[in-house]
Chains A and B, each alone.
Chain A
Amino acid sequence: MMPGFVLFLISSLTLATVYALVALALNFEAGVDGLWDLGVVSFFAAGAYAYAILTVGPPDQMQVYRLGFGLPLWIGVIGAAGAGTLVAYLIGRASLHLKHVYYLITTFAFAEVIREVLTNERWLTNGTAGMYRMAQPFKSSFETNLYPLVLLLVMVAILVVVFIALNRVTKRPFGRALNALRENEDLAATAGMAPYRYHLRSAMIAGAVAGIAGACYVWFNTVIVPQQFTSSITFVAWTVIVVGGLGNNRGAVLGAFLLILTEDVLRLFDLSSTVAVRVASARVAVIGLILMAVLRWRPRGVLPEKRPRFSRSEALVPAEAPAQGLQQVGSGE
């Protein structure tokens, strides 16, 4: 039997892993690419519900949902990634022709509409009563009291794989193209890049990763209700990547763990439930202060984005150009 605080730590870390995955997804579309997406929770919710609906068994007497395929778990995870990608594709198709503030508002609005649909279409989601007894990976192969640790390890493994994959793509020409579009879209277009196509792809990749995060979230909670998918998930993910360092994948992971730790330190103390509610609110206030402070004094985050340095190719002929002839000259306009 593991002591209480170890269990608590494991649970915190597991949740941090979920947030790290969402943050990595958001960072890819908003930090590496420059999409101001205020609706990542849409992809997350789509993944979670796709996983739930694919893997959950038929409803009991109390439940009203119609679907429930009882499929194997790995199909559920693939379905989650697929659903996230699909939702990202549909929202992207509809709104990617909008820029900045308009894109932000539209994605935000989409997220709210999706949540309302999840709340109200009870045949699909069982509404606010939710669905429970969700399938978890390797559940039957381990003792119950050891299982939280197993789940944590599974999720960390997923996080590591996703991190390596995204980081790899970030540093290669595809990621560089997204960076270029983020920095100066008009100029990138003159390099022969169709901005819309790249944006759509980066949103779909974010959708896939956030969808997988959604499946992980279901493993963590073992129940699924629409109230878990409010826009506060989006704001948390943004807070994480802004604090961690926009555009830096490491920053996204670090930010997620920092945030959950800040949140959970205070939970270690025994508190009566009325006080606990208030302390929970105060924690959010502290996070607000941290976010404001980082933006004010370290606007590029704790781990600012770094550019790769390439070593010189061959021994080049010494520059015949008058490099020393360069002067600081006004732009002349």
Chain B
Amino acid sequence: MLETREVSKHFGGVKAVNGVSLMVEEYAIVGLIGPNGAGKTTLFSVISGALSLTSGRVSFEGADISGHRPWEIAEKGVVRTFQTPRGFPRMSVLENMLVFASERTTGFWKNLLAGGRLSAEERRNISRADEILSSVGLLDRRNVLVEELSAGELKLLEFARPLMAKPKMLLLDEPAAGVNPALLEHVVTYITQLRNNGLTFFIVDHNLGFIMDICDHLYVMADGELICSGAPDAVACDPNVIESYIGTKTETTV
């Protein structure tokens, strides 16, 4: 479904991503791990169009999307989240959801001339948002400003928000960071459930327990390059992986 071929992104001399080729199959949950600075976030940014590529190709559903703008890629159904969740700080939780609604009429004239307080479309979007919010446990906080949320709540919103866009594929950057174990379990079930309903996931995280638990396939990056890949239990034994984690991220490795 998603394929990168020899993708590189260099910042001056820094080869943040260097010749990465990988594949994410439809309806899969694919993980990407690697020590800090490995280039995971940069790879996500390149795929989602936030950063231009230095070289290589990215394709989605067989079509070349390299060099496309972020909103074009989002429209195609690939939505990414950000490692440091900020949301739209001075808007309410519900509004944060509505911004991402897949059906929204944002034309100036249409908005100006439409009668009534709330359009039918808005009402549909609100009830969909409420459903998603309730499934992650944020329904009570729907009218709260995002800047007032706790870090954990923010992380959940980060996960819930893109669902409004009815994406085909989600790129999640560290969804488990800062989420407590009880809640994490819930997130795991929710992700699996969404996958069964036809979503594809590509997930970066440092929490090995979580990643092993959830992924069908795993890629490992270090210093901008892919060092190995395979089924989660096989990869975990690979000395390369152990080495790249030793001393760097042991504390978050469950």
Which residues of A line the B interface, CB within 8 A?
165, 168-169, 172-177, 179-180, 183-184, 186-195, 198, 201, 205, 305, 307-310, 312-314, 316-317, 319-323, 325-333
Contact = CB atoms under 8 A, between A and B. Distances in A.
A77 B126 CA distance: 40
Contacts of B123: 313
Interface string B126-164: 110011001111111011010000111111100000100
A167 to B, nearest CB: 11
Contact of A331 (B130, B135, B178, B183): B178
Interface stretch (B5-13, B76-84, B214-222, B233-241): B76-84
A325 B111 contact: no
B91 A307 contact: yes
Nearest to A305: B90
A314 B127 contact: yes
Given A169-B108, A330-B151, A187 B177 contact: no
A325 B50 contact: no
A310 B152 contact: no
A330 B99 contact: no
Given A191-B99, A194-B71, A313 B106 contact: no
B137 A332 contact: no
Contacts of A165: 112
B82 A174 contact: no
Given A316-B139, A331-B84, A331-B151, A307 B180 contact: no
A193 B72 CA distance: 8
A307 B123 CA distance: 17
Considering residues A192, A308, A323, which has the most beta carbons from chain B within 10 angstroms of its beta carbon?
Answer: A192
- Interface bin, chain B: 35 or more
A205 B145 CA distance: 28
A7 B153 CA distance: 58
Please provide the 6 A-B residue pairs with the shortest distance between their CB atoms, ordered closest to farther: A321-B137, A313-B127, A183-B88, A332-B178, A323-B137, A332-B177
Contacts of B106: 173-174, 177, 193, 198
B92 interface: yes
Contact of A174 (B50, B111, B126): B111
Nearest to A165: B112
A308 B143 CA distance: 8
Given A322-B183, A325-B186, A187 B87 contact: yes
Contacts of B122: 172-173
Contacts of B155: 331
A274 to B, nearest CB: 48
A321 B114 contact: no
B88 A180 contact: yes
B89 interface: yes
A326 B152 contact: yes
A147 B90 CA distance: 45
A307 B95 contact: yes
A177 B99 contact: yes
Contacts of B245: none
A205 to B, nearest CB: 7
A12 to B, nearest CB: 31
A307 B145 contact: yes
B89 A184 contact: yes
B95 A176 contact: yes
Contacts of A330: 151, 178
29 contacts: A168-B111, A169-B108, A173-B104, A174-B107, A174-B111, A179-B90, A187-B86, A189-B71, A189-B74, A190-B162, A191-B71, A192-B74, A193-B71, A307-B90, A307-B143, A309-B143, A312-B142, A313-B123, A313-B126, A314-B127, A326-B153, A326-B183, A327-B152, A329-B151, A329-B179, A331-B151, A331-B154, A331-B178, A332-B178
